[in-house]
Structure 1
Amino acid sequence: MRFVLAILAFAAAAVLVGIGIAQRTVFLEPDKVSLGAVVENQASYTVLTPEALAANPGKQTITVSGGGPVHLAYGRTEDVLSWIGEDPYVSVGYDGEAGELTSEVVVAQPVDDNTPGTPATDEPQADEESESAEAEPDPAASPVGSDLWLDEFTGDRTLTTTVDVPEGITVLVSSDGTAPAPGRIVVAWPLDNATPWAGPLIAGGALLFIVGIVLVISGVLAHRRSRGPRRNLPKGPKGKLMRAPRPPRSQRAALGSTGPSRSAGRAKRIALLPVLLVPAIALSACSSDYWPDLSSAPETTAPATPVETAAEGEADEAESTEPEAPAVVPAVTVPQMERIMRRVAVFTTEVDAAADAQQLAERFTGPAYEARKANYAIRKSLPDQASLPAIPAAPLTLTLPQQATGWPRTVLTIAKNNDDETVAPTALVLRQESPRENYKVLYATALVPDADVPEVAPASIGAPPINPEFKGLVMPTGQVAPAYADVLLKGDESEFAQFFDPEGDVIRQQLGVEGQKAIADDLPDTADVAFSNEPGDSPTVALATNDSGALVTVSITQTEKVTPNDGGTIGFKEGQPGAALSGFDEKSAKGVQRVIGIQLMFYVPAVGSEEQIRLLGWSESLIGASEVK
Structure 2
Amino acid sequence: MRFVLAIVAFVVAAVMIVAGIAQRTIFAPPSQVTAAATVPADTRYVVIDSAVLNAHPGQQTLSISGSKNAKTQMVAYGRTADVKAWLADQKYATISYRAGDSAVTVKTVTPKAGSTGSTGAASTATPAPTATPTPAPTGTTPAQTAAPGPDPVGSDLWLDEFDGQDAQVTKMNVPSGVSVIVAGDGTTPAPDKIVLTWPVDTSTPWAFPLIIGGLVLLVIGIALYLGGLYTHRRARGPRRKSGPKMPKLPKAPKYKPTASIEATPRGRRSTRRTRVMAPAILAGVLALAGTGAGAAFADTSTPTPTPTPTSTTSAPNGNGNSPAPAVTAPQLERIIKRISVAAANADAKNDPNLAKLRFAGPALQLRDANYTIRLKKADQPALPAIPAGPLELSLPQATDSWPRTVTAVVKMPNDSTGKAQAPLALALVQPTPRDNYMVEYAIALEPNVKVPNLAPASIGAAVVPPDSKLLKVQPDQVAAAYGDILLNGDKSKWYSSFDLTDDKLVAQVGASWKQQEQARLAQQFGQTSTLTFSGRVGAGPVISMATNDSGAIVWVNPEEVQLHRVTEAGAQVIAGATTAALSGVAQSNTGIESVYGYQLAFYVPPAGSNEKVRLLGFAQGLVSAREVQ
Is the contact between residue 66 and residue 157 of structure 1 (CA under 8 Å) also seen in structure 2? Answer: no
Give 1:549's aligned residue.
551
User: 377-386 or 138-147, which moves further after superposition?
Assistant: 377-386
Deviations 1:54-101 (A, max 9, x none): 323333221122233231111011111111120111122235775422
- Indicate whether 1:163 and 2:172 are aligned: yes
CA distance in 2 between partners of 1:211 and 1:490 (Å): 102
- Which of 322, 330, 343 pairs up with 2:338? 343
CA contact (8 A) 1:329 1:403 kept: yes
**What secondary structure sits across from 2:441 in the alignment?**
strand
Aligned to 1:449: 447
Deviations 1:349-406 (A, max 9, x none): 2321222211110000011111111112222222232211121232222211112242
Distance 1:476 1:130 in 2: 60
Task: Find the residue that maps to 2:463 and give its secondary structure.
Answer: coil
Match of 1:129 among 125, 134, 146: 134
**Is the 1:557–1:597 contact (alpha carbons within 8 Å) kept by the matching residues of 2?**
yes
Q: Is the 8 A contact 2:143 2:189 kept in 1?
A: no
Structure 2 Cα separation of the partners of residues 294 and 138 of structure 1: 54
Give the distance between the partners of 2:448 and 2:366, measured in 1 at CA. 25
Structure-2 change in CA distance of 1:200 and 1:469 (3 Å) = same
Whole-angstrom distance in 2 between the partners of 1:515 and 1:540? 27
The equivalent of 1:248 in structure 2 is none
CA shift at 1:573, angstroms? 5.1
1:473–1:605 CA contact under 8 A, matched in 2: yes
Q: 1:85 aligns with which of 88, 112, 115?
A: 88
Report the Cα offset of residue 499 of structure 1.
1.2
* 1:492-531 equivalent positions in 2, closer than 5 A: 492-523=490-521, 524-525=524-525, 526-531=528-533
Greater mean deviation of Cα atoms: 94-103 or 389-398: 94-103
Give the equivalent residue in structure 1 for 2:253: none
Aligned residue number for residue 402 of structure 1: 397
* Alignment match, 1:385: 380
Partner of 1:438: 436
| CA distance in 1 between partners of 2:177 and 2:156 (Å) | 18
* Contact persistence 2:93–2:109 (CA under 8 A): yes
Q: Is the 8 A contact 1:66 1:158 kept in 2?
A: no
The one-letter code sitting in structure 1 at the alignment partner of 2:366 is A
Query: RMSD of the alignment, in Å?
Result: 3.0
Q: Which residue of 2 aligns with 1:122?
A: none
Q: Percent of pairs identical after alignment?
A: 43
Is 1:139 the counterpart of 2:159? The answer is no
Deviation at 1:126, TM superposition (A): 5.3
Question: Does 2:412 correspond to 1:417?
Answer: yes
Which whole-Å CA distance do the structure 1 matches of 2:628 and 2:343 have between them?
33
CA offsets 1:262-310 (integer angstroms, 9 cap, x no match): xxxxxxxxxxxxxxxxxxxxxxxxxxxxxx99999xxxxxxxxxxxxxx
**3-state SS, counterpart of residue 597 of structure 2:** strand
C-alpha spacing 1:224/1:625, structure 2 compared with 1 (3 Å): farther
Give me the whole-angstrom Cα distance separating, in 2, the residues matched to 1:534 and 1:207: 92
- Rounded to whole Å, the distance in 1 between the matches of 2:3 and 2:51 is 64
Q: Give, in whole Å, the separation in 2 of the partners of 1:183 and 1:328.
A: 34
SS at match of 2:134: helix
CA contact (8 A) 2:323 2:400 kept: no
Could you give the per-residue CA deviations for residues 3-52 of structure 1, whole angstroms, max 9, x where no partner exists?
77556544433322221111111101123222221112512101112332
Give the Å deviation of 1:324: 8.0
**What is the rounded CA distance, in whole Å, between the counterparts of 1:500 and 1:540 in structure 2?**
18
Out of 319, 329, 336, the position equivalent to 2:324 is: 329
Give the Cα separation in 2 of the matches to 1:324 and 1:85: 19
The 2-side partners of 1:601 and 1:355 are apart by 26
> Offset at 1:327?
3.3
Q: Verify the 8 A CA contact 1:559 1:596 in the aligned structure 2.
A: yes
TM-fit CA distance, 1:459: 1.6
Equivalent of residue 359 in structure 2, options 360, 364, 374: 364
1:198 to 207, 212, 219: 207
Deviation at 1:541, TM superposition (A): 0.2
Residue identity opposite 2:112 in structure 1: Q
Q: Distance in 1 between matches of 2:9 and 2:464?
A: 81
- The one-letter code of the counterpart of 1:441 is V
Matches of 1:324 and 1:84, distance apart in 2: 20
Q: State the one-letter code of the partner of 1:457.
A: A
Paired with 2:597 and 2:236, the residues of 1 have a C-alpha distance of 112
Partner Cα separation in structure 1 for residue 380 and residue 226 of structure 2: 93
Residues 381 and 7 of structure 1: CA distance in aligned 2, closer, same or farther (over 3 Å): farther
Distance 1:226 1:183 in 2: 83
1:469 to 449, 460, 467: 467
- Quote the offset at 1:213 in angstroms: 5.3
For 2:37 and 2:206, how far apart are their aligned partners in 1?
Answer: 37
* Aligned counterparts, 1:283-362, within 5 A: 326-362=321-357
Contact map agreement 1:474 1:608 (CA 8 A) in 2: yes
Equivalent residues in 2 for 1:563-582, closer than 5 Å: 563-572=565-574, 576-582=577-583
User: Structure 1 length normalisation: TM-score?
Assistant: 0.78
Instruction: State the distance in 2 between where 1:202 and 1:387 align.
Output: 74
**Structure 2: which 5+ residue stretches go unaligned?**
115-129, 243-300, 306-317
Cα shift at 1:326 = 4.8
Report if aligned partners of 1:46, 1:172 keep a CA contact under 8 Å in 2.
yes
Please, which moves more after superposition, 535-544 or 350-359? Answer: 350-359
SS in 2 for 1:394: coil
Read off the aligned partner of 2:190 and give its amino acid letter.
A
One-letter amino acid of the structure 1 residue matched with residue 40 of structure 2: E
CA change 1:419–1:21 in 2 (3 A) is farther
Quote the residue 2:48 is aligned against: 48
Separation (CA, whole Å) in 2 of partners of 1:40 and 1:140: 17
Instruction: Measure the CA separation in 2 of the matches of 1:215 and 1:571.
Output: 117
Contact 1:41 1:90 in 2 (8 A): no
Q: Is the 8 A contact 1:80 1:170 kept in 2?
A: yes
8 Å contact 1:174–1:181 — kept in the other structure? yes
Letter in 1 for 2:432: S
Q: Find the counterpart in structure 2 of residue 317 from structure 1.
A: none
Contact 1:196–1:293, Cα closer than 8 Å, also in 2: no
2:46 counterpart SS class:
strand
1:189 positional shift:
2.3
Unaligned runs of 5+ residues in structure 1 are 112-124, 234-291, 297-322
Cα distance in 2 between the residues matched to 1:217 and 1:516:
111
Residues 569/18 of structure 1: CA separation in 2 closer, same or farther (3 Å cut) = farther
> Cα distance, 1:230 vs. partner?
5.2
Aligned-partner SS, 1:443? strand
SS of 1:434's equivalent? coil
Residues 95 and 23 of structure 1, relative CA distance in 2, 3 Å threshold: closer
Q: How many residues align?
A: 530
Describe the shift of the 1:397–1:181 C-alpha distance in structure 2 as closer, same or farther (beyond 3 A): same
Q: Secondary structure at the match of 1:503?
A: coil
C-alpha contact (below 8 Å) 1:65/1:158 kept by paired residues: no
- In the alignment, what sits opposite 1:314? none
Aligned counterpart in structure 2 of residue 211 of structure 1, from 205, 220, 228: 220
Q: Distance in 2 between matches of 1:217 and 1:77?
A: 72
Tell whether the 8 Å contact from 1:596 to 1:621 is kept in structure 2 after alignment: yes
CA distance in 2, matches of 1:393, 1:158: 25
Alignment of 1:178-327 (within 5 A): 178-212=187-221, 214=223, 326-327=321-322
- Secondary structure of the residue aligned to 1:129 is coil
Alignment of 1:103 with 2:106, yes or no, is yes
Taking the aligned partners of 1:60 and 1:226, their CA distance within structure 2 comes to 69
- Matches of 2:446 and 2:55, distance apart in 1: 52
Give the distance between the partners of 2:395 and 2:501, measured in 1 at CA: 26
